[in-house]
């Protein structure tokens, strides 16, 4: 997304000044004073004043320029939402899942911004996706009170910069980590907690869907596979399900996808499970897929929860397929709504993974359009 035009920047500064310093009926400073306060030429300022008048935010009379009632609401048009992204080409530089989460963050922020009558701007904080090479010039765009949204503790150095700028902040991390807890900044922090604990919730969801024998088939290199075993089997015990050490099966993530399907076939022939948590290793774009059910011999009626991967583009998945979903878009929209609507103080809350059906997931994330 490009940086805002000069007129949009002037408009944003005007709206911030009005929001922070004025109340309905107040007389605004003269054009000369306003231009000096904002740091622009009077000619540039006049275009913004005309726009504010057309929108009913100010009233210009022979006695001066006055603020109308509608402009005092929090989150009025012109408050930009700055979204920090790792680098300009984050779609290809961040890996499949990271790129997907960044896209969901942007979509949620933009949706909230538009609903509040404003706009969003992405600021790439590095040129090469390396947190050691921050592009500090991007932070020159930020002023006190600006709304800044970001994802993760990837580049920890930016926390001090944002604190110094006194921005209003919204951010998501994988663990409880509120750097701004003891500050007077407006800060909305959402953390997900240990990701692998969601395996226990996935077992419970499949149990509700009618499964009695549930198998986890996951990549051995991932954190969810390394640390999720206890959560998986504890849920089995709590739900009164059959427990078998072999129901937790890990495979090499480098294995070609057709081979993973053959492994699944062998497991199904051995255990005849009726519930499956499938952690796919399919992350490369492709137009055709092997027939999952033909290759594995798994009946369509087996209840399944899948991770977010290119496997979800396979058209043969039944509608009762569920997705292990981190509702990133919805959470960022909620976050920006709050920051644009009111002072939030310091919010520190834990997010929760969800298991929507396939169609619900597609509708929420626009996954098939990405």
CATH (domain of 11): 1.10.10.10
359 within some domain: no
DSSP conformation letters of 253-267:
TTS-HHHHHHHHHHH
Q: Are 98 and 169 contained in the same domain?
A: yes
Model confidence pLDDT, tens digit, residues 199-243: 999 999 999 999 999 999 999 999 999 999 999 999 999 999 998
Please give the radius of gyration of the chain, using alpha carbons only, rounded to the nearest integer: 25
Residue with tokens 């609401």: 73
Q: Residue 98 — pLDDT band, cuts 50, 70, 90?
A: confident
Cβ atoms of residues 211 and 178 within 8 Å: no
Same domain, 316 and 200: yes
- Same domain membership, residue 203 and residue 166: no
Pairing of strands 64-67, 58-61: antiparallel
By residue range, what is the domain housing residue 273? 196-323
Any idea which residue has 């137009």 for tokens?
287
Same domain as 185, residue 66:
no
Res. 72: pLDDT tops 50: no
Which residue would you say has higher pLDDT here, 105 or 16? 105
DSSP classification of residue 193:
-
Non-local (6+) Cβ contacts of 247 within 8 A are 213, 214, 215, 216, 236, 271, 273
Note whether residue 294 is domain-resident. Answer: yes
The whole-angstrom separation of Cα 186 and Cα 168 is 5
Q: In this predicted model, what pLDDT tens digit does every residue of 154-206 receive, in sequence order?
A: 778 888 888 888 899 999 988 887 788 778 888 999 999 888 999 999 999 99
Quote the pLDDT of residue 76.
43
Q: With bands split at pLDDT 50, 70 and 90, how would you rate the model's confidence at 1? A: very low
Q: Order across the sheet with 346-350: list the strands.
A: 120-124, 81-85, 147-151, 168-173, 187-191, 346-350
Whether 1 is in a domain gets the answer: no
Number of domains in the chain: 3
Are residues 203 and 304 located together in one domain of the fold? yes
The pLDDT, as a whole number, for residue 61 is 79
Asked if 305 and 225 sit in the same domain, the reply is yes
370 in any annotated domain: no
Q: Mark whether 263 and 307 lie in a shared domain.
A: yes
Q: What is the pLDDT of residue 2?
A: 41
**b/e burial code for range 16-40 (CB count within 10 A of at least 16 → b):** bebbeebeeeeebeeeeebbeebeb
* Residue (of 115, 142, 199) closest to 4 by Cα position: 142
Q: Is residue 369 part of a domain?
A: no
| Residues in contact with 5: Cβ distance below 8 Å, sequence separation at least 6, in sequence order | none
pLDDT of residue 55: 67
273 and 187 together in one domain: no
Residue 363 lies in a domain: no
At 5 the pLDDT is 58
Statement: residue 303 has pLDDT above 90? yes
d(CA 277, CA 18): 53
Residues 95 and 168 in one domain: yes
pLDDT category at 11 given cuts 50, 70, 90 is confident
The per-residue pLDDT of the chain, averaged, comes to: 87
Q: Is the pLDDT of residue 44 over 90?
A: no
Domain with residue 99: its CATH number is 3.40.50.2300
Check whether 269 has a pLDDT greater than 80: yes
* Structural domain includes residue 201: yes
- Asked if residue 17 has pLDDT above 50, the reply is yes
C-alpha of 278 from chain center: 23
Q: Which residues contact 176 (CB under 8 A, 6 or more apart)?
A: 191, 193, 348, 350
Instruction: Please indicate, yes or no, whether residues 201 and 310 belong to a single structural domain of this protein.
Output: yes
Whether 205 and 303 share a structural domain: yes
**361 domain-assigned:** no
| 104 and 180 housed in the same domain | yes
Of the three residues 34, 49, 72, the one that is the final residue of a domain is: 72
Percent of the chain with pLDDT over 70: 94
- Between residues 174 and 78, which one has the greater pLDDT? 174
113-117, 255-259, 261-265: range with highest mean pLDDT: 261-265
């Amino acid at each position: 997304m490009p940086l805002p035009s000069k007129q949009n920047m002037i408009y944003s500064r005007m709206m911030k000044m009005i929001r922070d310093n004025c109340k309905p009926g107040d007389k605004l400073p003269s054009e000369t004073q306003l231009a000096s306060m904002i740091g622009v030429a009077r000619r540039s300022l006049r275009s913004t004043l005309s726009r504010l008048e057309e929108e009913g935010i100010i009233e210009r009379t022979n006695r001066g320029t006055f603020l109308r009632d509608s402009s005092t609401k929090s989150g009025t048009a012109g408050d930009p939402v700055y979204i920090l992204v790792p680098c300009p080409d984050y779609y290809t530089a961040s890996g499949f899942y990271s790129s997907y989460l960044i896209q969901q963050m942007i979509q949620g922020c933009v949706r909230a911004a538009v609903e509040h009558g404003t706009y969003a701007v992405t600021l790439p904080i590095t040129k090469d996706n390396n947190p050691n090479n921050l592009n500090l010039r991007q932070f020159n765009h930020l002023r006190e009170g600006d709304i800044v949204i970001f994802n993760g503790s990837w580049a920890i150095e930016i926390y001090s910069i944002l604190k110094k700028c006194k921005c209003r902040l919204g951010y998501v991390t994988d663990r409880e980590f509120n750097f701004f807890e003891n500050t007077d900044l407006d800060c909305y922090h959402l953390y997900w907690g240990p990701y692998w604990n969601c395996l226990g919730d996935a077992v419970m969801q499949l149990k509700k869907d009618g499964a009695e024998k549930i198998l986890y088939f996951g990549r051995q290199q991932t954190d969810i596979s390394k640390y999720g075993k206890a959560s998986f089997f504890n849920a089995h015990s709590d739900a009164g399900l059959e427990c078998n050490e072999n129901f937790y099966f890990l495979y090499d993530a480098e294995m070609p996808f057709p081979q993973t399907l053959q492994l699944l076939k062998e497991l199904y022939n051995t255990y005849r499970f009726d519930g499956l948590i499938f952690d796919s290793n399919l992350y490369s774009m492709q137009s055709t897929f092997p027939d999952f059910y033909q290759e594995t011999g798994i009946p369509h009626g087996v209840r399944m929860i899948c991770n977010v991967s290119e496997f979800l583009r396979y058209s043969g998945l039944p509608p009762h397929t569920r997705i292990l979903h981190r509702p990133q878009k919805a959470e960022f929209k909620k976050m920006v709504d709050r920051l644009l609507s009111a002072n939030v103080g310091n919010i520190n809350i834990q997010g929760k993974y969800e298991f929507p059906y396939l169609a619900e997931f597609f509708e929420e994330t626009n996954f098939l359009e990405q």
